Structure 1
Amino acid sequence: MSAGNIIRWFTRWVSPAALAAAGVFLITTIALFVPPYIGMADNGDYFRILYGNGLYFSAPDYNSQYLGYFVKQYGLLQYFNENGAALFSSQSLFIHMAMFLNGMLHSTEVFDIRFQAAIYTVLYTAAVYLLVEAVTWKLSRGIGYSIAALAIFMFADTGYTAYFSSFYSESVVLIMAMLVVASGLLLYRKRYNDYAMLAVFAVSALLLTTSKQQNAPVGVIMAIVGVVLVWIRGGRAYKSLTASILIGLFVVGIGTYVLIPKEFVNINKYHAMTRGVLMDSPDPEATLKAFGIDKQFAVLNRSIYYHPYTTVDVDSELLDKEFYSQYGFGSILAYYLTHPDQAGKMLNLAARSGFTIRPPAMGNYEISVGKPFGTQTVFFSGYSLLKDALAPKTFGFIIIWTLVVMGLYMPSFIAAIRARRMRLVLRLPLITMMILVGLSGILVSIIGAGDADLSKHEFLFTASFDLVSFLTIADLIARRLWGAQPAEPEDEPEAEPELAL
């Protein structure tokens, strides 16, 4: 077969979405399932999710591998599990799916984390396919392939996929955020069945919101901004179903916040004060007084909850009564609003960590590979390294980026409003929703936990930033920012569909 025939066959049968999905799948498979295996070391957070799901640390030298080395095998509890769940997270669903496959195909005593990585890889491949399909639908193959290459460069990066071989909830955050964007865009393009895409949107938004307590605002944001989804299609059944989904997301967002265990509330509150409010205060004692807290607690300034030796027991009744009970999320937010200089310092500090996909503290290799402690892979890490090196790490840049992106999409939004084409109105609210979701990741991080482990806490922002940036660049390449939208019939009120039971 000649080169010309191969090219014609390729362009006929391989869509840009298929190319992007295949590229991401191949690169991720090499990274995670071909020696030396890539994963992420435990920073001490694994215990929150492991024991409640029936897993335990089985490696005898596990403690010496914290932060430095990736561990791929864990023990499966054989008898009654007396450990309650330390926290509620949709991540547990995927862990139990992996445990089921592990038991069927590998062992009932030893859990190999690569079964979890395989589940995430398949879901991620599907998410990339839907995202690129939404962006490249009805584009020429040449333009579509260039966008697919961009998707591979950004989303096959091991800064993202190394999370799949870990017990961090960031894997769920990444995949579900991508599915939310993809399903929203497919509704906008009127690609695939509306009810199917609405279901993908609802499930992925639900799993994203409940993946970690920090994401509680996500459900609220998506419920409010997502109201536009109600009006993109006629029919009482569709409108009622969509409204019910949005109300459900709002309730789940509130519930996720309410269900945060007191232990983790105190950890976050401790850091919010000692690693946030007090850290840049010119007069820590006066700051404490403003919260109604005894000035003697200024001695805790810049301390960390996990320090083995502290001035006062962080779990003591004294701190519970005289310290933790005196402030909360609302009072800290009010403090920052009335102290803009201090708030600006914290936002810039957050911005410096907001463009780092892979936290610098955790290594990616197993100890058996022989790499130095904490070594991180550079395999297919071009995007994450470039982003970390070149992104202007100030909150001012984030504001400018937000205004530029929204400004670029505003003309088509206004045109859709004037034409009363509600489906075409959807794109800007969808992008705005993801920007707000990303910004919530920053604000919740600094208000809720100060500068403690910022680069990991801000993963929601960096994922949202990349998804929105990818859409913007792709639309620039395709000339779809201001130009004609995909040819589709104007939405007409539709008859009530018969729901098969």
Structure 2
Amino acid sequence: MMFSSVMRMLPRYLSPAAFAAAGVLLITAAALFLQPYIGMADNGDFFRILYSNGLYFNDPNYNSQYLGFFVKNYGIFQYYNENGATLFSSQSLFIKVAIFFNQIFHDSQNFDIRYQAWMYLILYVAAVYLLVEAITWKMSKKAGYLVAAIAIFILGDTGYTAYFNSFYSESIVLIMTVFMFASGLLLYRKKYNDYVMLSLFIVSAIALTTSKQQNAPVGIIIAVLGFFLIYIRKKRTYRIVTLLSLIIMLGVGVGTYVLIPKEFVNINKYHAMTRGVLLDSTNPEKTLESFGIDKQYAMLNGSLYYDPYASVDVDSELLEKSFYSKYGFGSIFTYYAAHPDQAGKMLNQAAHDGFTIRPKAMGNYEQSSGKPFGAQTVFFSGYSLLKDALSPKTFGFIILWMLIVVGLYMPSFVSAMRTWRWRVALRLPLIMMMILMGLSGIFVSIIGAGDADLSKHEFLFTLTFDLVSLLTVGDLLGKRLWSNEAVEADE
């Protein structure tokens, strides 16, 4: 009775989109801002983004908390900061904004990461609202609230939102991917102003692409499949603006790749060989010789760049000349293409880790909470735990999922293209864009860094899988998988 009463009252006060946004807001606020605070422990990556943005580690016991405990307080440089940017990332802009608000409302010398989390949460709630609004547009109230509840279950999961209390760029990836997909769907539905939605689409796509170097292919994928956006309106001004925006996106994707620091290139190349090509090779010596590398380097098989007692200096001129310079992205791709069995093993390994939202290596609690080292929260983690436990761990399942999704949406796409209704045809290209973005996360991870920290590197795949699946379920509940929704005539 109580449930039915609530369901009758909801439409009076909250739309499905507002209901989803409010649910994510309340759940995430409780997780991040009520004790014991939930966040993400540092795996050693924070230094890359911290010092160049005017922050530093001020906890004397910080090193002992790596991987195990979340740390929420950091120092703010007061005078001269000699640390230059180690990498180019849109994440820096968000950190600087968070520092600004921290200095106004909290402290000029100490940074509380929860100011960043509040900023991320506000943006995320807005993104969730737009996404659910796009999915539930013109849907029955009953189906709309069901979709909103599913969205809360998925997008409110702490496997996703715990990243807000950390310096991992996955926070930006999460928020901007949701914004981008939502604005694309709203363009398809012709909901809100097209120019506003196009601007949101492009800005969020740029922020996503530049959030981390691994996302360089994302900008290229968006620029190519964004071609459909050009023709959804007949006005010449709109088409010119859209075309120029997509050209900029293409440049951003290429530029993100070009600006990858050499230090990180070598780290990834090292792992691509030692934790990738050599790992499942039946004859590592022969494999190295096929790249023109001395077979003695087979002793590096399975090693990590950060191993404290390495058998060779990974930063030496010798390794640069006789190892790193001998191979690259293209040659590794060619090797896997010539060795499909080995490629299949790596893809299955990627699939095994590709459905894990929160890496198992990093703890979620502060040391002061009294929780064990590396303990992870189960608060509102039902979806991430079920997904990790029940998802088939093979690349074949990913292919099957792709075929099913594309097959479900193909009839409406073909029907729309036969009559040259570009806006109505936009749904499938948006879905393909998301799928290819997710796959790029898998392929770039494997070819670029082997199996090193694979579950974290595949964050974009697990996110796009969830978003596309959410849309598919929503369209199924709304009974419009195969139908072409009526939209007003394009201007």
Normalising by structure 1, what TM-score?
Answer: 0.96
Percent of residue pairs bearing the same amino acid type: 70
Query: For 2:417 and 2:7, how far apart are their aligned partners in 1?
Result: 42
**Counterparts of 1:209-220 in structure 2 under 5 Å?**
209-220=209-220
Instruction: Summarize deviations over 1:473-497 as a string: whole Å, max 9, x none.
Output: 1111111101351x33232xx3xxx
- Code of the aligned partner of 1:112: D
**Counterparts of 1:16-165 in structure 2 under 5 Å?**
16-165=16-165
Instruction: Summarize deviations over 1:337-356 as a string: whole Å, max 9, x none.
Output: 11111100000011100000
Which residue of structure 2 aligns with residue 186 of structure 1?
186
Query: For 2:271 and 2:52, how far apart are their aligned partners in 1?
Result: 25
Which residue of structure 2 aligns with residue 499 of structure 1?
none
Note closer, same or farther for the CA distance 1:325–1:402 as it changes in structure 2 (3 Å cut).
Answer: same
Query: For 1:390 and 1:166, how far apart are their aligned partners in 2?
Result: 28
* 8 Å contact kept, 2:135–2:471: yes
Instruction: Summarize deviations over 1:46-77 as a string: whole Å, max 9, x none.
Output: 00000000100000100000000000000001
Instruction: Summarize deviations over 1:181-238 as a string: whole Å, max 9, x none.
Output: 1000000000000000000000000000000000000000000011000000111110
Instruction: Summarize deviations over 1:411-434 as a string: whole Å, max 9, x none.
Output: 110111123211001000000000
Query: For 1:150 and 1:363, how far apart are their aligned partners in 2?
Result: 26
Instruction: Determine helix, strand or coil for the equivalent of 2:386.
Output: helix
1:7 shift after superposition? 5.7
Which residue of structure 1 aligns with residue 316 of structure 2?
316
Which residue of structure 2 aligns with residue 490 of structure 1?
489
Instruction: Determine helix, strand or coil for the equivalent of 1:74.
Output: strand
Is 1:295 paired with 2:295? yes
- Code of the aligned partner of 1:355: F
* 8 Å contact kept, 1:270–1:449: yes
Instruction: Report the aligned-residue RMSD.
Output: 1.2
Which residue of structure 2 aligns with residue 177 of structure 1?
177
Is 1:240 paired with 2:240? yes
Query: For 1:461 and 1:288, how far apart are their aligned partners in 2?
Result: 30
Which residue of structure 2 aligns with residue 464 of structure 1?
464
- Code of the aligned partner of 1:201: F
Which residue of structure 1 aligns with residue 281 of structure 2?
281
Which residue of structure 2 aligns with residue 422 of structure 1?
422
* 8 Å contact kept, 1:49–1:87: yes
Instruction: Determine helix, strand or coil for the equivalent of 2:438.
Output: helix
Instruction: Determine helix, strand or coil for the equivalent of 2:375.
Output: coil
- Code of the aligned partner of 1:338: A
* 8 Å contact kept, 1:421–1:490: no
1:14 shift after superposition? 1.1
Query: For 2:341 and 2:420, how far apart are their aligned partners in 1?
Result: 44
Is 1:259 paired with 2:259? yes
Note closer, same or farther for the CA distance 1:234–1:477 as it changes in structure 2 (3 Å cut).
Answer: same
- Code of the aligned partner of 1:488: V
1:3 shift after superposition? 10
Query: For 1:450 and 1:3, how far apart are their aligned partners in 2?
Result: 49
Instruction: Determine helix, strand or coil for the equivalent of 2:315.
Output: coil
* 8 Å contact kept, 1:441–1:460: yes
Is 1:403 paired with 2:395? no
Query: For 1:5 and 1:332, how far apart are their aligned partners in 2?
Result: 60
Which residue of structure 1 aligns with residue 353 of structure 2?
353
1:139 shift after superposition? 1.1
Instruction: Summarize deviations over 1:241-296 as a string: whole Å, max 9, x none.
Output: 00001000101100000000000000000000000000000000100000000111
Note closer, same or farther for the CA distance 1:8–1:333 as it changes in structure 2 (3 Å cut).
Answer: same
* 8 Å contact kept, 1:351–1:395: yes
Normalising by structure 2, what TM-score?
Answer: 0.98
- Code of the aligned partner of 1:54: G
* 8 Å contact kept, 2:424–2:487: no
Query: For 2:328 and 2:76, how far apart are their aligned partners in 1?
Result: 38
Note closer, same or farther for the CA distance 1:5–1:355 as it changes in structure 2 (3 Å cut).
Answer: closer
Instruction: Determine helix, strand or coil for the equivalent of 2:138.
Output: coil
Which residue of structure 2 aligns with residue 228 of structure 1?
228
Query: For 1:171 and 1:7, how far apart are their aligned partners in 2?
Result: 33
Note closer, same or farther for the CA distance 1:301–1:425 as it changes in structure 2 (3 Å cut).
Answer: same
Which residue of structure 2 aligns with residue 362 of structure 1?
362
Q: Unaligned regions of 5+ residues in structure 1, if any? A: 495-501
Query: For 1:426 and 1:7, how far apart are their aligned partners in 2?
Result: 33
- Code of the aligned partner of 2:143: I
Instruction: Summarize deviations over 1:89-130 as a string: whole Å, max 9, x none.
Output: 000011001000000000010000000000100000000000
- Code of the aligned partner of 1:150: I
- Code of the aligned partner of 2:397: F
Instruction: Summarize deviations over 1:343-380 as a string: whole Å, max 9, x none.
Output: 00000011100000000000000000000100000000
Instruction: Determine helix, strand or coil for the equivalent of 1:372.
Output: coil
Query: For 2:488 and 2:366, how far apart are their aligned partners in 1?
Result: 55
Instruction: Determine helix, strand or coil for the equivalent of 2:74.
Output: strand
Which residue of structure 2 aligns with residue 497 of structure 1?
none
* 8 Å contact kept, 2:424–2:484: no
Which residue of structure 2 aligns with residue 378 of structure 1?
378
Query: For 2:149 and 2:250, how far apart are their aligned partners in 1?
Result: 36
Instruction: Determine helix, strand or coil for the equivalent of 1:226.
Output: helix
1:140 shift after superposition? 1.4
Instruction: Summarize deviations over 1:370-412 as a string: whole Å, max 9, x none.
Output: 0010000000000000000000010000001011100000011
